[in-house]
Structure 1
Amino acid sequence: MIEPILSLSLCVHANREVYALLLGSGISRSARIPTGWDLVLDLVRQLAHLSEEDCEPEPRSWYEQKYGEEPDYSKLLEQIAKSSSERNQLLRSYFEPTDEEREEGGIKVPTQAHRAIAELVKNSYIKVIVTTNFDRLLEIALRDIGIEPTVISTSDSVEGALPLQHTKCTIIKVHGDYLDTRIKNTPSELAAYDEPLNCLLDKVFDEYGLIICGWSGDWDEALRDAIRRCKSRRFTTFWAARRRLQGQASELLNWRQGVFVPIKDADSFFTELNEKVQALEELNKPHPLSAKIAVATLKKYLVDDSHRIRLHDLVTQEVERVYEATSVERFPVNTQFNEQELIRRLNLYESISEILISMFINGCYWGQESHQSLWINSLDRLSNLSYIDNSIRYEPWHNLRLYPALLLFYSGGIAALANQQYNTFYSLLFQPIVKNVNETYPAILSLSTTAVLKSEIARKIPNMQNRKTPLSDYINDLLKSSFQELLPDENKYQLYFDLFEYIIAIIYTYELQCQFQNYYSFGQPGRFAWKRWYTKHLNHLGDVNSSPKDKMEKANWNCELTKVVDFLLELGYFQGVKEEFLKIQNFYGERIDKLNWD
């Protein structure tokens, strides 16, 4: 039989934002947050202390005998703390950590469960959370990763809230918030909800599957009634608990025809669920056949002008798919950097872009001048994923959002050079415009390996720790299989990869000098710069002792380089004068010679 946690993980992964969470006090147990009833009993103890009476061992019984009624949260607060400010400070002491508690760690701060839930929200798996808890640990965990949840804690807030489908995350606090004296604790308070809240719960329980954790089901009569009112079984209910359910909880699970999920605790449960869903996401890469079908369709449309509209739709639809899949909601920029997240994001970006990369390679290799606008507009679209408010960005993640565009830049540029589509190559360099907060630059000045990932960070990629040009080497290895059909000879692939990086480095250097009078900076050196056959300025054949293989590589290099430079000169670039190119080439070569690669 399949383990319940595996079934749950598969369901959550396959049904984004279809499951809602129902969380009880057990979710905050490891943070030492008191339950509502714990809070009431402690207030009774304080009242007894003020009355100079002993209420132990049964504070509730003492209160009922003395006052002739059940202890009521609001009345207790009013008697113990007379002003709203006093009440506010009193409640904060139960839910907010002191300096000593912060130093001790783990007390009254988000738990592993809260953090894992926040990750599920960030990755668009969970959207709605119903909780009986008063604390704000979920809100804190979400804000820490850049998500501002919509919080509904009163009937008034139900009326003014956006529809559930229009928020990134909605937290419904059915018993209220700890800073609101209207929170519900007593059996009479928990017996019924106001009509607006009932209507909202009816909608949640009808339209969403449920994942229940940390809730016993014993005390919350109104919440039990809300679950029973729902007769639909659209999606499965999963109830996670440390022990087999009994009583009211068991009846509710049977009513929902749900699945019991045995767990050790809430922290390990949500951590495992998040990890398994992430594992499925990384496994769920496009099937290679998908890319092959897309490329075959692309080639068919390229050769027949009557298919120009279909070609346009084919490419732009894939671009939009990538654009949506790499949104800032799925890849938030203001979370702390760590190595595991770097590798996860790289792999996800590559998986999402895989089909478009194959289309781009074949389009820029086989396409004609009439098709150039497709590749330019596509690169332009994806180059502006990173155009967001700099005040909220965390630099590594912000810059990494350009990674899909960088892969397309390399793919299209290398393919165009390999088939002497120099006009396409030149257009890719200058016509896509990358917008920054106050400035715009062509792709040549914006898309580079170091602009996307600084070398010291790129060396955290597996097997790139000791590389001189880590991201360049990584992309070289990554794209090799995508070029297999067009460039089956690995030497030719390496030639055009290095040629692409060299030409864009020379042009970048020239642009800096012409546009900005910057005579100190120069284009980012790619992997060509440290190759064993490299000699002073890359356009010489080297010493007479070079091996035949080295001489052949250099001869091929110079032949291809000359073709590109002649095209650029004919276009009027480098002022249309070869000496101007040679001056920039010598300047660049001298700077590269001074680099210490050791």
Structure 2
Amino acid sequence: MIDPLVSLAFSIQANRGVYALLLGSGVSRSAQIPTGWEIVLDLIRKLAKLEREDCEPDPAAWYKAKFGKDPDYSELLDTIAKSPAERNQLLKNYFEPDEVERQEGKKLPTAAHKAIARMVARGYIRVVVTTNFDHLLEKALAEEGIEPTVISTADSVKGALPLVHTNCTIIKVNGDYLDTRIRNTREELAIYEEDINHLLDRVFDEFGLIVSGWSGEWDTALRSALERCKNHRFTTYWTDIRPPDGNAIRLIQLRKGEFIQIQSADAFFDELSEKVFILEEYNSPHPLSVKALVAQVKKYLVEERYEIRLHDLMNQEVERVYKELSDREKFPVDGFYGDDFGDEIRRQVRLYESITEPLLAMIITGCRWGKESHSHLWVNCLNRIANPPEERKRNSALHKLQMYPALLLLYGGGMASIAAGKYSTFASLLTVPKIRPTHVEECPIVLALHPWSVMDRPEIQRLLPVLERSLIPLSNHLNDILRDPLREILPQDANYQECFDRFEYLSALVHADLRNEYDDDDDEIWAPVGLFGYRSRLSQRDTSIMNRIQLEFENSTQTYIDSGDGVPTKRVDSTWPPLRAGLFSGSAERLILIKRKFDELVAEVSRSRL
């Protein structure tokens, strides 16, 4: 059976602003705020002391015997404190903390008040009915930047805005402690003015209700207002630390309500607000738009206090994508031949792109604007998406195509890192995530993920739409499909093209370097040749990415001859960013060797295909 607290959280989150609160003295109890009757009894003790008499053990009985009538809050105040200023100061001692009490956390907003204020700030709660005189909720709301409309007398009802036009309305049915007309006795609590009754009738008719800290025994007029309401459009949730009895049971049955037994008002509202906010984050922002998701990632990146939320947001989206990508009904891997096979390749490519779009936007945003300390988020994302279920080890075209979403993410994150000059992030993306290709031990992702590992035959790549004549159709397709996601950080087409070529070329160099390391073969070299190889063949030599990177490296590198021991040795020092990020083991000599061999391979491949 679903926990009623969970049901309530779902109802509040799905029906923003529909639920009102009815709060009694139990909500302020942990703040050690006295009830109205406790104040009356304390005032009687003070009066008895002035009369030099002992009123114990029953101050109320002493008062009635002394004055011939039940105690009256206003008369007591008038007797003990003659001027308005004196009365105000006397009452403040009951409701406002002194310095010692403040240090001890007394008479300050409780966890319940703060949780309620957070829900008000997000629009989940708009109306609060309370029997309390204190200002704890108002103080908690002020901390959230909310100034509520407070209705504590019949006069204030007439000048108040309609409930739907305020961020928050607090209805103090028994008055405010600064007004001597507050209700305390059974007689005072038995009848409300007509305007207050009409307002309560609207609230109890139009809103769902969450009752906390109120027994239903003393406040006769408030109980009558609940009994008058015949409509129950939304559920009433009644909370208490003990099982209900007496009038509480009858009111719950009358309103067809749910009872939730709680440990305390603080624990209840704190847990309720957390569950509502978790549902809020789970449901947003992806259903709204990719732009909203990007905005949220940017917000979480700039402040350390959002680190956990950023982690949860990324993890939530990664798991959503992983689950959809693993759905065999969406992505069958067998039973397609002839024209059906080409149609299925194109269908799956489009669907992979659609499912991955939000996560691609997130990793692009993160790699462009995030810090090096955020790199583990993008690495974990690639680790998860690049390692689908073990079934992928079947060596068919549609099984290999499962790696296409990871390829999209690697290109998008890598290009964003390069555009931002964040080569440490770029290096992490290429080398830290591990992948286990078919029949091969685990290796860095850059070794096993590239266009030719996703579509390993030219005839399969040429199944992509309108790319039949392209020499590297999948690389061309990536170049086209990533243009819009990267437009915000690379608005000019020329800069985008340069960044795309730089990513493919640097990735290939790293691939060649690590491949040599893993194969332990210095005589042969191989790495995927991307669009840069064919563009360099068709363009002016000094504009090719290969030549640009060569010039960058030379301009940031110095060669020294060290002959301290009598034998001259050559030492190469470089400040080139990819080397400083740890690629090529930080060795300029190693990069020079790999680059020379790979550039020869690029020239050979590009000549053979043109």
Q: Same fold (TM over 0.5)?
A: yes
| Residue matched to 2:267 | 268
| Residue matched to 1:593 | 579
Question: Matched residue pairs, number?
Answer: 464
Aligned-residue CA RMSD (Å): 5.2
Cα displacement (A) at 1:566: 9.7
Q: Say whether the 8 Å CA contact 1:205–1:227 is kept in structure 2.
A: yes
How does 1:524-563 map onto structure 2 within 5 Å?
A: 525=426, 527-528=428-429, 530=431, 540=509, 541-542=512-513, 545-547=516-518, 556=527, 558-560=529-531
Q: Tell me how far apart the structure 2 counterparts of residues 139 and 248 of structure 1 sit (CA, whole Å).
A: 29
Q: Say whether the 8 Å CA contact 2:382–2:410 is kept in structure 1.
A: no
Tell me, yes or no, if structure 1 residue 226 matches structure 2 residue 212: no
Q: Tell me how far apart the structure 1 counterparts of residues 525 and 403 of structure 2 sit (CA, whole Å).
A: 12
| Residue matched to 2:379 | 473
Cα displacement (A) at 1:28: 1.6
| Residue matched to 1:47 | 47
CA shift in 2, pair 1:181/1:322, >3 Å: farther
Tell me, yes or no, if structure 1 residue 100 matches structure 2 residue 100: yes
| Residue matched to 1:155 | 154
| Residue matched to 1:126 | 125
| SS class of match (2:530) | helix
CA shift in 2, pair 1:136/1:566, >3 Å: farther
Q: Tell me how far apart the structure 2 counterparts of residues 590 and 234 of structure 1 sit (CA, whole Å).
A: 68
Cα displacement (A) at 1:537: 6.2
How does 1:100-499 map onto structure 2 within 5 Å?
A: 100-105=100-105, 107-122=106-121, 124-274=123-273, 277=276, 320=288, 337=305, 341=309, 343-344=311-312, 407=359, 409=361, 447-449=365-367, 451=369, 454-456=371-373, 458=374, 469-477=375-383, 488-489=400-401, 496-499=408-411
Cα displacement (A) at 1:67: 3.5
* Counterpart amino acid of residue 168 in structure 2: C
Cα displacement (A) at 1:50: 2.9
Q: Tell me how far apart the structure 2 counterparts of residues 335 and 78 of structure 1 sit (CA, whole Å).
A: 54
CA shift in 2, pair 1:557/1:354, >3 Å: same
Q: Tell me how far apart the structure 1 counterparts of residues 134 and 72 of structure 2 sit (CA, whole Å).
A: 19
Cα displacement (A) at 1:94: 1.8
* Counterpart amino acid of residue 530 in structure 2: C
* Counterpart amino acid of residue 103 in structure 1: Q
Q: Say whether the 8 Å CA contact 1:504–1:523 is kept in structure 2.
A: no
CA shift in 2, pair 1:589/1:3, >3 Å: same
CA shift in 2, pair 1:246/1:116, >3 Å: same
| SS class of match (2:227) | helix
Q: Say whether the 8 Å CA contact 2:368–2:417 is kept in structure 1.
A: no
* Counterpart amino acid of residue 24 in structure 1: G
Cα displacement (A) at 1:132: 0.9
**How high is the TM-score relative to the length of structure 2?**
0.60
Cα displacement (A) at 1:231: 1.1
Q: Say whether the 8 Å CA contact 1:145–1:335 is kept in structure 2.
A: no
| SS class of match (2:139) | helix
CA shift in 2, pair 1:195/1:480, >3 Å: farther
Q: Say whether the 8 Å CA contact 1:285–1:351 is kept in structure 2.
A: no
| SS class of match (1:337) | helix
Q: Tell me how far apart the structure 2 counterparts of residues 523 and 211 of structure 1 sit (CA, whole Å).
A: 52
Q: Tell me how far apart the structure 1 counterparts of residues 99 and 398 of structure 2 sit (CA, whole Å).
A: 63
Task: Specify every segment of 5 or more residues in structure 1 that has no aligned partner in the other structure, as ranges.
Answer: 287-317, 368-374, 376-403, 414-446, 459-468, 510-520
| SS class of match (2:77) | helix
* Counterpart amino acid of residue 428 in structure 2: R
| SS class of match (2:576) | helix
**How high is the TM-score relative to the length of structure 1?**
0.61
Q: Tell me how far apart the structure 2 counterparts of residues 565 and 88 of structure 1 sit (CA, whole Å).
A: 85
| SS class of match (1:500) | helix
Q: Tell me how far apart the structure 1 counterparts of residues 287 and 316 of structure 2 sit (CA, whole Å).
A: 16
| Residue matched to 1:394 | none
* Counterpart amino acid of residue 227 in structure 2: R
Q: Say whether the 8 Å CA contact 2:26–2:213 is kept in structure 1.
A: yes
Cα displacement (A) at 1:24: 0.4
* Counterpart amino acid of residue 22 in structure 2: L
Task: Specify every segment of 5 or more residues in structure 2 that has no aligned partner in the other structure, as ranges.
Answer: 326-345, 433-443, 448-502, 557-573, 586-610
Question: CA offsets per residue over residues 535-576 of structure 1, 9 Å max, x none?
Answer: 99656444994445999x995555255579999x99xxx999
Q: Say whether the 8 Å CA contact 2:301–2:366 is kept in structure 1.
A: no
